[in-house]
Amino acid sequence: MSKLVPHIEFDENNIPINLDFGDSYYSKSGGLDETLEVFIKACNLHEKFTTQKNIIIGETGFGTGLNFLVVWQEWQKHRSKNAILHFYTFEKFLMPKEVAEQALSKWPQLNEEIQKLLNKWPIATSGLQRIWLDEQTALNIIIGDANETMQKQNFKADAWFLDGFAPRSNPDFWNDNIFSQIARLIKSDGKIGTYSVAKLVRDGLENASFEYRKCEGFGTKRERLEAWPKATIANETTKSPTKIAIIGGGIAGAALCHAIQKRGVEIEIFDNDIKGEYKASNNPRGLVMPRIDKLDIPEARLFKLAYLYAMRELENFENNGFDKTIINEYAKSKRDIEKYKTFKLQNPIDDALLQIEDEYLIHNAAMVYPSQLCEKLRATSPIINADIKSINFDGEKWHLLDENQFEHIADIVILANGNGINKLLFDALPISGRMGQVSISKQKYCEDNIPRAASGYSIPYQDGFLFGATFEVCELSKPVQITTQANQENIRILSEFLPNLAKNIDENELEARSSMRVVSDDMRPIAGPIYNENKLFALGALGSRGFSLALILAEMIACEIFQEPIPFEDEIRNLVSPHRFFNAK
């Protein structure tokens, strides 16, 4: 499979033309005005923006991103406080960023939005990427064949923009499968707007149980269509929480704060290790890097999408706990390199995500200062120094008792307290501990100051470097301790990929820090509601990739609480759900 890049030329009016489909990306009569008339006005979005708290829009064909940019600008004018817009768009051939920049230069009135979008332009890799453009606006772009990717989505849109290339040039897209998926992914009072009145479109909508009407067209088009579901059923609404308690102040708890703050709800964090003496989230320095698997399976997609999401969300704290870098990851053998090359050919991945050299992979990555970054993610949410001993639900509220028998009350509780997560669940989760020790050397690091990884990793730190980490199986109740044996193991692992650096290390000059990591029996994270109860959630078992996984899993939990679409497909959600353990019993 070749990389899915569109073949584009610009005409004399600087309008991009897709040569594969022989069609322009927007109307030659004016793309911005077309979006306002054919989509926003047709779907009554201005009214919805002012009367609804949250809005979901679906779109076929992201193209230059113009429709999204116009919607985003109008949304900013009319939205209410703490309201969230989720814009879902399906695109098979992602336009390169520099081509989009040229195409969008026609619209100076959108310049502020254009620059922000270009700064976070999607990566050309398959799957769903959620990109927050501001605290109330999320672009969800799903790259791949919509005939396949739509089936994996599970949201209900207030509006759909049917804006793929014209049916005459792209008949494989305008088919019964697409129309039936749109019927599944629309609210009963949702609206559809499209520029096309082709018989293929009218028949497809009618067969999918939509009614439609022809309306006056835009520009040179005589007519356009508006459509809506034939059956109208009142949409269910549920009461949103007003106060959420998070138990645990490490990266899991901090990521939850970051996600929930967007929804404008009061948060209290309880932590019995505020100084970070034991938690892995207080290591001196850490890494955010992708896990590139050889097979394109749901677990591999989870780690890929989590990495992309974390990099975009954390770049808001650049030079303030988060420093972008590249990392050289050494393969175990030449055979592994060949497997990665085969994987990249079969599953097109942008070079920004993965480049392959003779002996190692090059990733975009980031170095993080964990305690500083956790503080930034928590923002203004108060952190309470308390050890919660019990939680009880009275049918409406949670009652949390701390070590001093002081009671705290919340609508929802989220357990994010690392190795203590099972104490309040009566050991319901199959989790275990991994003692992780990092070693710190004052010896001079590599001249290029680039982090390296293989079985372990090395990162520049202060005037020397940090390396490790061990991953020793142990009981969760085992006291955290620093050992000479762990330092020796770190040196041994370092010698596998940086032998010249490792051989000059003096064990006696090493400093070290040890902390407890938590893993589940199947080595996958745990995120979601406990016991089918949407008032109690857990986020944990992040293993050694807490800063890569926590942000997207926290976003998933926030979406489940506030009944928004989650940031990936249900098959990935099922991989991390606590129910996988309970249902198996």
Q: What is the pLDDT of residues 347-359, one digit of tens each?
A: 667 777 778 887 7
Task: Provide the pLDDT for residue 346.
Answer: 65
Band (pLDDT 50/70/90 cuts) for residue 532 is low
Query: 292, 331 in Cβ contact below 8 A?
Result: no
> What's residue 561's pLDDT?
94
**Co-location of 112 and 254 in the same domain:** no
C-beta of residue 135 within 8 angstroms of C-beta of residue 259: no
**Higher pLDDT, residue 337 or 249:** 249
Give the per-residue pLDDT at 348. Answer: 66
As a whole number of angstroms, the distance between CA 385 and CA 402 comes to 10
Whether 516 and 528 map to the same domain: the answer is no
pLDDT reported for residue 88: 98
Please determine, for residue 154, whether its predicted confidence score (pLDDT) is greater than 50.
yes
* 469 upstream amide cis, omega within 30 of 0: yes
pTM for the whole structure: 0.93
* pLDDT band, residue 202 (cuts 50/70/90): very high
| pLDDT number for residue 335 | 78
Same domain, 529 and 502: no
Asked, for residue 347, whether it belongs to a domain, the answer is: no
Q: Which of the four pLDDT bands, split at 50, 70 and 90, describes residue 489? A: very high
What token pair was written down for 105?
């230069």
% the chain with pLDDT above 90:
70
Which pLDDT band, with edges at 50, 70 and 90, does 297 fall under?
Answer: confident
Note whether 59 and 199 are same-domain residues.
yes
Q: Which of 7-21, 93-107, 262-276, 406-420 has the lowest mean pLDDT?
A: 7-21
**Token couple for 140:** 């969800």
CATH of residue 476: 3.30.9.10
Pick from 166, 196, 229: which residue ends a domain? 229
Residues 6 or more apart whose Cβ sits within 8 Å of residue 336 = none
Q: Mean of the pLDDT values across residues 325-351? A: 78
* Contact residues for 80 (Cβ-Cβ < 8 A; gap 6+): 50, 53
Beta bridge partners of 56: 86
In this prediction, residue 1 carries a pLDDT of 37
Whether 504 is in a domain gets the answer: yes
419 with 498, same domain? no
- Kindly report, residue by residue over 253-296, the tens digit of the pLDDT: 999 999 999 999 999 999 998 877 777 778 899 999 988 777 77
* pLDDT score at 275: 76
- Tokens 């020793």: give the residue: 472
* 350 occurs within a structural domain: no
Predicted pLDDT of residue 347 = 64
For residue 304, give every residue at least 6 positions away whose Cβ sits within 8 Å of its Cβ, in sequence order, or none.
Answer: 125, 127, 290, 291, 292, 353
Q: Which among 140, 139, 144 is positioned nearest to 125, based on CA atoms?
A: 144
Instruction: Look at residues 500, 520, 540 and tell me which one is the last residue of a structural domain.
Output: 520
Whether 304 is covered by a domain: the verdict is no
Task: State the CATH number of the domain containing residue 573.
Answer: 3.50.50.60
Structure-block tokens of residue 136:
């109330």
> Do residues 467 and 557 both lie within one domain?
no
Judged against a pLDDT cut of 60, whether residue 3 lies above it is answered with: no
Buried b (16+ CB within 10 A) or exposed e, 417-432: bbbbbbbbbeebbebe
Indicate which CATH number applies to the domain containing 168: 3.40.50.150
pLDDT value of position 407: 96
Q: Are residues 257 and 223 in the same domain?
A: no
- Taking 50 as the threshold, does the pLDDT of residue 585 lie above it? no
Res. 205: pLDDT tops 50: yes
Q: What is the pLDDT of residues 391-439, one digit of tens each?
A: 999 989 999 999 999 999 999 999 999 988 998 988 889 999 999 999 9
516 falls within a domain: yes
| Residue 270 belongs to a domain | yes
477 shares its domain with 546: no
Final residue in a domain of this structure, among 466, 490, 520:
520
In this structure, the answer to whether residues 91 and 41 fall within a common structural domain is yes
| Parallel/antiparallel/unpaired status of strands 533-540 and 526-530 | antiparallel
Measured distance CA(363)–CA(331) in Å, rounded:
13
pLDDT at 237: 64
Q: What is the pLDDT at residue 338? A: 80
138 and 256 belong to one structural domain:
no
Q: Is pLDDT of 509 > 90?
A: yes
Percentage with pLDDT > 70 across the chain = 95
Q: What is the mean pLDDT of residues 430-459?
A: 94
| Count of C-beta atoms within a 10 Å radius of residue 120 | 14
Q: Give tens-digit pLDDT for 538-556.
A: 999 999 999 999 999 999 9
Could you tell me the residue range of the domain that residue 60 belongs to? 8-229
Residue 112 maps to a domain: yes
What's the angle, vertex CA 459, arms to CA 455 and CA 462, rounded to 5?
A: 155
**Interval 48-91: pLDDT, tens:** 999 998 999 999 999 999 999 999 999 999 999 999 999 999 99
Q: How many domains does the chain fold into?
A: 3
The one-letter code for the residue type at 84 is I
Q: Could you tell me if residue 317 is inside a domain?
A: no
Average pLDDT score over the chain: 90
Q: Are residues 405 and 267 in the same domain?
A: yes
* Position 2 confidence tier, pLDDT thresholds 50, 70, 90: very low
What is the pLDDT, as a whole number, of residue 451?
A: 96
Query: Does an H or E element contain 575, and which?
Result: helix 570-576
Give yes or no: residues 153 and 258 share one domain. no
